[in-house]
Every structure is written in C-alpha cells, then in structure tokens.
Structure 1
Amino acid sequence: MKAVEVYLPQDVDKSFIVFREEGNYFPAPWHYHPHYEFVLVTRSTGRRMVGDHIGYFDTDDLVFMGSMLPHVWVNDPVYLQEKSLDRADALVIHFTEDFLGNGFMNIPEMAGFRRVLKLSERGLALRGKTRSRLNRIIKKMPAMSGLERLSSLLIIFDIMSRTKEYDFLASPMFVQNFQYSSSDRFRKISGYIMENFNKDISLSEIASVANMGVTTFCNFFREQFRVTFVEYLTTVRIGHACKLLVDEDRRSVVEIAYECGYNNLANFNKQFKKLKKMTPTDYRKALEIRWR
C-alpha cells in the first residue's frame, strides 16, 4: 500500500496545530507528513499502524510520531457501519521542528527534548503516569488561549524529555536512514548492524567496530539506544522480515526467516510474535486488509 502525503490546515495566527478529529470513524488514509505529531484517542477502538508496527488502540491511547513516519488509525468495524451510533474522537497536535524559529530547538534548555525528537522517528506509545499527565493537558488545549496553549506544549516537551514510560513502535529497519546521533561512532555502529544483521554478530565483533571494550560498548549502546544490543538486533531483523512479508514475490516464511539471520524457524516465529504480537502469517494477512 502506498502512503500519501497529507497536511492539516493551520490558522495563520497560530504557530502549531491542535485539531479535533471526530466523526463515525477516523478518515485519514495511510499517510505521512513533515510534522511531528501527538495523537490522543479520546473515544474509539481499533488498530493503528505506525511504520511496520501494527497495534491496537483504545480510549486514552497516546502516540508521539516523528516527521515523515507513515501511519494510519483504523477504527473497529462497528464504527464503519453506515448507521452506527458509535462515534470516534481524537485530539491531534502537529508542529514542525522550527515552529518557534530556526534556532529554538538548539537552545540549551531543549537538549533533552531534541533526544526525544530523534527517538520519535520510530514512533513512541506513551504509558503509565506520563500518559495520564499528558492526556490531562492535551484534553484541555482546544479551549485554551494562544499563549496558554503554547505554554502547555512546552510543558509537554519537558515531561517527554524526562520520561522513560514509552514503547517504540516502528522497527529500526523501517527507519534505517534516520540519524540518531551525529557522532562517527554511532554511524559506524548503526551502519554495521544494517549491513550485517542477517549474519551472526557477536558482542566482541560489534564492540571492535566502535573501538570499545565489550562492557563499555554494552553500557554505551544501552544509553544511546535505550535497549540492549541483542534487543536492537532482533528489532532490525524482525523489521526486515515485515518488509519481506509484504513484498510481491511472496517468499515463504521459512525463506524470510533465513534471510533475516534466523537458522531456526521456531525461534524466528517466537521473536516475531514477541515483538509484533502476532505470527508472521497473521501479519501478512493483516497487511492485505484494505486500509480505509
């Protein structure tokens, strides 16, 4: 399925967008845009697809997505019926990196949130107390005055910069061209993983690429990527598998498993289900559904 580029209309007297999406269902197609985006579902259930991630949403689900990351929210069938009495409702915030000027995101106070912007290139599903705090703020924003709305957004930035209560959505493979850091060390590590993920990569091997000892590398990797090296490598492999599952050549699951670096089909299925909450076969079937 081909993603389309879409934009929300912006008032000329506002620097960013706060928009209520309401109706029988969410009408946006599989799409992307240059804006960063918060999506808070205030009413409805269904599936959301962010990059190569397929998950389920319910009331109070909150996701933060980076620029140009394809996504779509698809309501459950009850909302799509012509005479349905069920209504869908969501609050959406759109902003660009330079919405307060070219240099705003580079001021010292924004250092923590700049890191979040990089993380958001995979999409972040908020959870726990962080989600509750952000939801309370976002639900009040449509009725706020301009300056109050802006100050609330900055509070959201501050909360986001200090929390660890989120889950990544899209896999690293889906967004393999993203730049998490400008350091040569990061580029070498990321590049090596992307070129060799279908092979066995030992900790000593990848540590030598970074010119580090194994223990130092493990600590560095977890600090930068928020997961262990093994966990990251698994998400890269499963992300590539997701791409192959929807390719037109229709390779078998066994062929895909081997191409992604798995010599054991049972282990591949186990790791895939752990990350995607469904089997490879079910994932392929889910993507064949017509997204509305």
Structure 2
Amino acid sequence: MVLKAQYRNISSTPGNSFKVKLLEAKEFPAAWHFHPQYELSLIVSSIGMRYVGNSVKNFSEGDLVLIGKNLPHCWKTIGNQKKNVRAIVVQWEEDLLGEGWIEKEEFKAISKLLKSSSLGIKFTQKVAKKLEKDFEELLILSPFKKLIKFLNILNILANQSHQELLAEPGFRNKVSIEDSERISTLNNFVKENYMNKINLKAAAYQISMSEEAFCRFFKNAMDKPFFQFVNEYKINMACKMLIDDVSSSVSQIAYECGYNNLSFFYRQFRRFVGKSPVEFRKMFKEIPCLN
C-alpha cells in the first residue's frame, strides 16, 4: 500500500447537516488521507487492512469505526474477493447543529465520544450488527428523520462500555501537506523494496536527509521508528499473499516478503496480527466474500 497523507476536501450535501453515502466498488477508492470532518464507517461487505493514524489492523464485515478530525486513515482490501466492497459512510462538520451545540448538557456523552475519536475508535461487531439496520435507514429517510436517527446512533455509541482506541496514545497528525510528499516517497521506496533488505542509508537518501535527521523526521511524522513501519508493511504483504496465493507455503511467503529467518517472521507475524500465519490463512478460508 502507498501511504499518501493527502488533505481531502469533503463536499457537503447542499442544505443538509451531514453527508451519508453508500460505497459500492471493487475496492476502497481513497488513499491514506485526512479531512476536517468526523467520519463514521460501517463495513457491510469486505475484508482487508485498516490504517488509522499509526494503527494497522485487519478488518472484516461488521467493522464499525469512528474517525476524528484530521486523523489520517484508509481501508485496503486483500484477497480475491467475489463481492464488491459495501460500506455506509457518514461525514459531518464540527458545527453539526450549529456553533457550541456539543457543549450542551444533552450531548455530554457524545462530546466525550468525539474527543476520544482523535485516536480513532473501533466498536464491537455486536453493536455494529445491532445498528446495521439504522445505518441502512440513513440512506432512505427524510432529512429530519435522518438527523434524528443519526443522533440516536451517536448516542448509542457514546454509551458503549467497550470502545477500542486505534492509534497509540499521544498520536497526532503532525504531517504537513509538504511533508506528506516525503512520506509518500518513502512508502513508494518500501513498496518497491520490501522483499529485499532495506537499510537506513538508502531510505534516508530517498528524501535527501542524513540518517540521524531521517530517523527524527520519520518518528515525529509517524510516531513509530522507520523499521517498525517496514516490518508492518512486510507483514501486511504476507497477509495478502497468504490469502491470494494458497499454493505457496508459509516459508516461501516469508522469503518473498524479505524474511530470511523463518522464526523471526513467525514472531513478527504473531506480534502484528495476533495469530500465526497458519491460523490467519485458515481464518480467511471460510469468509463468504472470498468464495
């Protein structure tokens, strides 16, 4: 995946307080981007990798995530999926109900929820399933009923006891529009060379920096060391190969992703995915959209 922390201007629906859209496509269209609007996304059909801030995790059907203002994010499909991506996405400005609305007592719980969304929030599949019909109704209701329905969804989410924060505490989008070009260059470099040994000198050369300055820049921009990112990218590609290329063994895939030490690959895979490569491959065999 090529990460481009691009600023996107989300056009609002004329005359409406917020925007609801149904995404149906072969894959998610947006690269890594950020915008000043909040975003609530429900994945109805698809599997893949979800990138939010410095969090990179698997997602599947029933993935319900709230994205805060200016938080970089994107979803990427993996595997040869038979069904199109289907997702319902809601986007809204900070002044949804006018200036200062969020400070009112009635919206105290929602206010807390939106503040927490600066790191991205994933809700349980149980609550996603419970709200799926409500999301579908957002696509067809009249404007007034749609607003009431949306506020009710936010209120339900605000009162969920289990909310998984996605990005690491302290993460902030510190990448300027100018620096995003450097990040894009580095990610292209990793994409083209992940199967080989990547050294710091070569990476720093890509953006005309000394090794020391490069390490500071990347850590400040991404809130993680460069080689942690490289390992995450390699494991991401391994996940894709484990699903797409069922004829290749785990050891073959490890080698193709630049791991010459199989035990190190297994440790990194479990650390990143939470499962062994064999368990991961087995998990995706029975997913309907792949069959």
Q: TM-score range by the shorter chain?
A: 0.5 to 0.7
**Aligned with 2:34 (options 14, 19, 32):** 32
Q: Could you say which residue in structure 1 is the equivalent of 2:200?
A: none
Look up the match of 1:76. 78
Alpha-carbon deviation of 1:153? 0.9
Amino acid at match of 1:36: Y
1:138-161 residue CA offsets vs partner (Å, 9 max, x unmatched): 122101110111001110121122
1:78-97 per-residue CA deviation (whole Å, 9 max, x = no partner) reads 25xxxxx5311111000111
**Which of 168, 173, 178 is residue 171 of structure 1 equivalent to?**
168
- Which range moved further: 168-177 or 97-106? 168-177
Distance 1:28 1:240, change over 3 A: closer
Identity %: 29
CA contact (8 A) 1:51 1:122 kept: yes
The one-letter code matched in structure 2 to 1:104 is W
SS of the equivalent of 2:71 reads coil
Aligned residue in 1 for 2:113 = 116
The equivalent position to 1:159 in structure 2, one of 156, 165, 169, is 156
Structure-1 separation of matches of 2:223 and 2:273: 13
Deviation at 1:105, TM superposition (A): 0.7
| CA distances 1:230-266 after superposition (whole Å, capped 9, x unpaired) | xxxxxxxxx844566348xxxxxxxxxxxxxxxxxxx
Which structure's relative contact order is higher, taking Cα pairs within 8 Å and 6+ residues apart? 2
Q: How far apart, CA to CA, are the structure 2 residues paired with 1:22 and 1:104?
A: 33
Structure 2 unaligned runs (5+)? 175-221, 231-265, 277-291
Q: Does structure 1 residue 136 correspond to structure 2 residue 133?
A: yes
Correspondence for 1:64 = 66
Q: Partner residue of 2:204?
A: none
Deviation at 1:123, TM superposition (A): 0.7
**Structure 2 Cα separation of the partners of residues 12 and 74 of structure 1:** 30
Instruction: Evaluate the alpha carbon distance shift between residue 131 and residue 86 of structure 1 in structure 2; reply closer, same or farther with a 3 A threshold.
Output: closer
SS of structure 1 residue aligned to 2:23: strand
Is structure 2 residue 147 aligned with structure 1 residue 150? yes
Q: Please list the CA deviations of residues 197-248 of structure 1 after superposition, one character each: whole Å capped at 9, or x if unmatched.
A: xxxxxxxxxxxxxxxxxxxxxxxxxxxxxxxxxxxxxxxxxx844566348x
8 Å CA contact retained: 1:35, 1:96: yes
Please tell me whether the aligned partners of residues 62 and 125 of structure 2 are also in contact (alpha carbons under 8 angstroms): no
In structure 2, distance between residues paired with 1:72 and 1:43: 16
Residues 278, 5 of structure 1: alpha-carbon distance in 2 compared, 3 angstrom cutoff: farther
User: Does 2:95 align with 1:93?
Assistant: no
Paired AA for residue 153 in structure 1: F
Task: Give the conservation status (yes or no) of the 8 Å contact 1:69–1:122.
Answer: yes
Letter in 2 for 1:131: A
Query: Which residue does 1:102 correspond to in 2?
Result: 99
The answer on whether the counterparts of 1:130 and 1:165 sit within 8 Å (CA) in structure 2 is no
Alpha-carbon distance change, 243 to 121 in structure 1, aligned in 2, over 3 angstroms: farther
Q: What is the alpha-carbon distance in structure 2 between the residues aligned to residue 105 and residue 243 of structure 1?
A: 38
* 1:23 counterpart = 2:25: yes
Residue from 245, 260, 270 that aligns with 2:228:
245
User: Does the CA contact (< 8 Å) of 1:41 and 1:89 recur in 2?
Assistant: yes
TM-score w.r.t. the length of structure 2 is 0.59
Structure 2 Cα separation of the partners of residues 61 and 278 of structure 1: 19
Give the distance between the partners of 1:246 and 1:129, measured in 2 at CA: 31
Alignment RMSD (CA, Å): 2.9
